[in-house]
Copies of this chain bind each other. A is one copy, B any other.
């Protein structure tokens, strides 16, 4: 057993685009655990767009990531030592140990995972925070009825792919928006969306019109900017918008809504949300998501970067849409 481990800290805040030198890889001695504590070797680290927001000092929904501390992040791993009654060596667990090979817990925020029918990494994706985000936005804000048209941006991603599949199962016409022909093919052929628009093809408005002949009743928005504007222009009366992300503006550019009058003329409802503020509904969401994944009815795809040192580049790629499905880092 090694006596050291690695972690990545935030070395500096980005000015505009995130760069590798915003991060610093550090080697530390393996910690000793005390009575009541658990030592975890993390197997996978989850990379998610929300991390970009935490790198800023500006007013947002969460405290900023402190400089020189381990970058925040969800992890799944294995207990390698335990002085806690409820956890044993070999237990597989979900935690928030960040960009680090090792975690120490007192058990309070640690969840034991059953990997007999659900793969370990899925607890960071379709049966984890991204899946819950999809489930919450769809069921609590968009509330689509069978036959309605639902549009999902970033459709091949960890969140969008779940939104679309859940909406299909509720009888909706589901149209995805993704970047590139390969992602679009995957969204339609593997995930079962009715259509997927490649926003990089240069004819977003025309393609969207063709794919939504009856207009749009609900949007799950991950991107903002021009893509969102194009969707808004096709909204039907009483449309609902779950606002989950605005990745088009993560580098600090203001993200505008070009024509806001449609909110009035079409009596739209838009709601921003953060799934971590609705933990009372997690058991209900996880029940549905877990059952679907275990039975093969909810598909997902992962982009796995190898080794902690690859995390900064993988994260920068995620912000540019280079990932394909849920972005993970395999730590050991």
Instruction: Specify which chain B residues have a CB less than 8 angstroms from the CB of A265 in the assembled complex.
Output: 53, 59-61, 272
Query: Does A245 sit at the interface, judged by CB under 8 A?
Result: yes
- Main SS at interface, chain A: loop
- Cα–Cα, bound, A271→B249 (Å): 23
How many copies of this chain sit in the oligomeric assembly? 2
Known contacts A61-B237, A61-B265, A259 near B255 by CB under 8 Å: yes
B243 lies within 8 A of A263 (CB): yes
Given known contacts A61-B237, A237-B61, A267 and B258 CB-to-CB distance under 8 angstroms: no
Are the CB atoms of B258 and A258 closer together than 8 Å?
Answer: no
Q: Does B277 lie within 8 Å of A273, measured CB to CB?
A: no
On whether the beta carbons of A258 and B261 are closer than 8 Å, the reply is: no
B277 touches A264 (CB 8 A): no
Whether A80 is near chain B, meaning CB under 8 Å from some CB there, is no
> Please, what's the 1-or-0 string for A49-83, where 1 marks a CB less than 8 Å from any CB in chain B?
00001000001110000000000000000000000
Cβ-defined partner of A268 (8 Å) among B59, B258, B266, B272: B272
The reply on A254 being an interface residue by CB < 8 A is yes
Q: Is A269 an interface residue (CB 8 A)?
A: yes
**Cα A264 to Cα B257 with chains together (Å):** 13
Determine the residue in chain B with the shortest Cβ distance to A258. Answer: B256
Residue A272 contacts which of B228, B243, B244, B267 (CB distance < 8 angstroms)? B267
Q: A245-B264, A254-B261, A265-B272 are in contact. List 19 more A-B contacts (CB 8 A).
A: A59-B265, A60-B265, A61-B265, A61-B267, A243-B263, A246-B264, A254-B258, A256-B257, A256-B259, A257-B257, A257-B260, A263-B270, A263-B271, A266-B272, A267-B271, A267-B272, A267-B277, A269-B269, A270-B271
